């Protein structure tokens, strides 16, 4: 669930970064994402609490609170995740004398390491990086342009 909220939050931020005037309403964003405006408003609230966007009630919509180069995907991830809950939860092992009780703590270490690596990777990518990539023609677009 957090991965979907994260993807939609990044979608919202890219739209705000590339919108003329830098402002969009939840209805327009919802059309682009393919969801309900209520979902967009809920996620926008989380982004606003994290200091990534500013929200204006009514026709003003939302806008970025910082320059796209000052917003990292790591910050977006932190805004979307539920505090204290790991991305990769571990089941509780049974009590007993066999090796099974050691498995959850073994997995927790591996999973925590994987999550830390992912967070480090996300922290290295800015919203501006994504916007620049979006402006570059994709391979399929470039092939289509050459064919015409």
Which domains are assigned to the chain? 2-143 (1.10.10.10)
Q: How many residues belong to the chain?
A: 148
List the structure tokens of 144.
């289509």
CB atoms within 10 A of CB 143: 10
Is residue 95's pLDDT more than 80? no
pLDDT > 80? residue 142: no
HSE value, Cβ hemisphere, 13 Å, CA-based, for 29: 28
pLDDT at 148 over 70: no
Is the per-residue pLDDT at 116 higher than 90?
Answer: yes
Q: Taking residues 95-122, report their average pLDDT.
A: 85
Q: Give the E-state strand segments of the chain in sequence order.
A: 53-56, 61-64
> Taking the CA of residue 82 as centre, how many other CA atoms within 13 Å lie in the half-sphere pointing to its CB?
9
Q: What is the pLDDT of residue 84?
A: 74
């Amino acid at each position: 669930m957090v991965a979907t909220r994260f993807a939609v939050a990044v979608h919202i931020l890219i739209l705000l970064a590339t919108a003329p005037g830098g402002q969009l309403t939840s209805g327009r964003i919802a059309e682009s994402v393919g969801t309900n405006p209520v979902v967009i408003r809920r996620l926008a609230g989380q982004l606003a609490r994290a200091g990534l966007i500013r929200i204006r009630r009514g026709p003003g919509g939302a806008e970025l609170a910082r320059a796209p180069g000052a917003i990292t995907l790591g910050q977006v991830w932190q805004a979307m995740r539920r505090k204290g809950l790991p991305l990769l939860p571990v089941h509780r092992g049974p009590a007993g004398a066999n090796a099974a009780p050691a498995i959850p703590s073994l997995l927790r270490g591996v999973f925590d390491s994987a999550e830390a690596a992912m967070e480090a990777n996300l922290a290295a990518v800015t919203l501006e990086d994504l916007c620049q990539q979006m402006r570059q023609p994709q391979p399929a677009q470039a092939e289509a342009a050459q064919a015409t």
